[in-house]
């Protein structure tokens, strides 16, 4: 068991999770938002909060940034990188905003409006420059592009416009960059979404070039989708770039990871470890990122909860007896094979994680330690005063 524990510790050391800057701000749905006194209003405050999560979990060293929300014209990106360093983190993936400007009414890269496509190109060029300035190698793309009505636009023409744009951005990015292409089955495009599933993302990545990889958002699937099978296929094809962690009841996101179906998350991690340990696949470059903006839960607590949940489920996946599983599979013993997964899933790994955290010099219970720190109450008072002095009513990024 000692050897097994040390191996799990090694895997946990390598399991880094990226935090989203927008997850610390007041955000909501198309129907509105419920503001929180402790929500961050500036990139400085967002990075401070991210630093707190990393402090208590010891596994969140980078922060994803949304360019339109976190960078403004005239802001020196290297200054933002310095602020991040001050809080013990660094800038991670660069997320272009290709859906919020009015010019994107009919799409961005796939739009029939040439002005919109040019606007998108200029924005992505700015994002590439920001990535270079903050020493980030990841660019994460999500497109709201699509159409709401049959006949609204030519589907093949939209595919070709999107493909051309991605190829152009692929070629313009640094040699060591990775472009992550996310997919989503619907919303806001309710008739046809231009990057609706993993197959479409796969095709776009293949056409654009080797720096493009598929990004799997765990909330962006229709009910019944076998996400772990998608993950296994993408790893085997060397096309899995990373994840956006969240959970969903139907087909969207923003719930804390594992809050609806933790066994599904475990099965995803099991396929990743199987690909590495059984099939010899390199999974070291998979980007694990959180994409959540909580309207109800306290923001930092929600992030800590997701990180702790991800670590627990990943550790459980590391404990699967794959030799025993392979024997059961070869014997076509379905009951024994399934039991291999269930035995690992129902193992209480909290003592193991407590020991791992002790080695990292952090509290065995990150949530309890954070709550005891009084950080939320303190910054709530400070930020309410800051907003009042500036006439700011919300720290939100989008509504």
Nearest to 281 by CA among 289, 272, 290: 272
The string of pLDDT tens digits covering residues 354-364 is 999 999 999 99
Pairwise CA distance, residues 223 & 50, whole Å: 32
Residue 17 has pLDDT above 90, yes or no: yes
Q: Which residues lie closer than 8 Å to 209 by C-beta, 6 or more apart?
A: 167, 170, 171
User: Once rounded to an integer, what is the mean pLDDT over residues 167-178?
Assistant: 98
The string of pLDDT tens digits covering residues 307-347 is 999 999 999 999 999 999 999 999 999 999 999 999 999 99
| Residue 27 or 302, more confident | 302
The string of pLDDT tens digits covering residues 43-101 is 999 999 999 999 999 999 999 999 988 987 656 899 999 999 999 999 999 999 999 99
Output the CA torsion sign for 93, 265, 226, 333.
Answer: positive
Residue 330 exposure: Cα atoms within 13 Å on the Cβ side = 6
Element (H, E) at 143: none
Pairwise CA distance, residues 87 & 352, whole Å: 28
For the ranges 160-169, 370-379, 383-392, the lowest mean pLDDT is seen at 383-392
pLDDT at 32: 79
Identify whether 393 is preceded by a cis peptide bond (ω within 30 of 0): no
Pairwise CA distance, residues 36 & 38, whole Å: 5
Note if the pTM is more than 0.85.
yes
Decide: 139 and 173 in contact? Cβ < 8 Å. yes
User: pLDDT band at 252, cuts 50/70/90?
Assistant: confident
Angle at 290 between CA 348 and CA 310, to 5 degrees: 10
> Which segments of 15-113 does DSSP mark as H helices, in order?
43-57, 67-70, 77-86
CB-based burial label for 361 (10 Å; 0-12, 13-18, 19+): exposed
The string of pLDDT tens digits covering residues 108-154 is 999 999 999 999 999 999 999 999 999 999 999 999 999 999 999 99
User: pLDDT band at 289, cuts 50/70/90?
Assistant: very high
> What whole-number percentage of the chain has pLDDT above 90?
91
Domains, the chain, in order of start with CATH, read: 14-390 (3.20.20.150)
Look at residue 45 and give its three-state secondary structure: helix
């Amino acid at each position: 068991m000692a050897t097994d524990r040390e191996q799990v510790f090694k895997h946990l050391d390598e399991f880094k999770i990226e935090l989203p800057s927008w997850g610390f701000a007041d955000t909501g749905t198309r129907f509105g938002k419920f503001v929180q006194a402790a929500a961050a209003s500036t990139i400085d405050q967002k990075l401070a909060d991210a630093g707190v999560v990393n402090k208590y979990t010891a596994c969140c060293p980078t922060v994803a940034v949304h360019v339109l929300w976190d960078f403004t014209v005239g802001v020196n990106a290297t200054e933002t990188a310095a602020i991040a360093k001050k809080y013990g983190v660094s800038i991670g993936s660069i997320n272009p905003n290709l859906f919020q400007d009015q010019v994107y009414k009919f799409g961005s890269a796939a739009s029939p409006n040439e002005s919109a496509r040019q606007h998108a190109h200029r924005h992505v060029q700015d994002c590439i420059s920001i990535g270079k300035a903050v020493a980030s190698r990841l660019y994460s793309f999500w497109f709201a592009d699509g159409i709401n009505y049959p006949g609204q636009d030519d589907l093949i023409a939209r595919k070709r416009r999107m493909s051309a744009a991605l190829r152009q951005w692929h070629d313009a990015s640094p040699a060591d960059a990775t472009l992550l292409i996310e997919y989503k089955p619907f919303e806001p495009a309710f008739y046809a979404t231009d990057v609706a599933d993993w197959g479409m993302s796969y095709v776009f990545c293949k056409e654009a070039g080797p720096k493009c990889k598929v990004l799997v958002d765990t909330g962006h699937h229709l009910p019944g989708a076998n996400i772990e099978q998608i993950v296994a296929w993408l790893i085997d094809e060397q096309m899995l770039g990373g994840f956006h962690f969240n959970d969903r009841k139907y087909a969207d996101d923003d719930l804390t990871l594992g809050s609806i179906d933790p066994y599904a998350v475990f099965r995803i991690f099991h396929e990743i470890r199987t690909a590495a340990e059984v099939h010899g696949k390199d999974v070291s470059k998979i980007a694990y990122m959180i994409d959540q903006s909580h309207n109800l839960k306290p923001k930092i607590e929600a992030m800590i909860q997701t990180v702790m949940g991800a670590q627990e489920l990943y550790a459980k996946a590391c404990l699967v007896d794959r030799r025993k599983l392979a024997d059961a599979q070869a014997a076509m013993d379905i009951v024994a094979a399934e039991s291999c997964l269930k035995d690992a899933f129902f193992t209480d790994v909290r003592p193991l994680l407590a020991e791992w955290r002790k080695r990292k010099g952090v509290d065995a219970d990150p949530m309890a330690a954070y709550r005891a720190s009084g950080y939320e109450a303190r910054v709530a008072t400070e930020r309410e005063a800051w907003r009042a002095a500036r006439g700011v009513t919300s720290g939100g990024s989008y509504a």
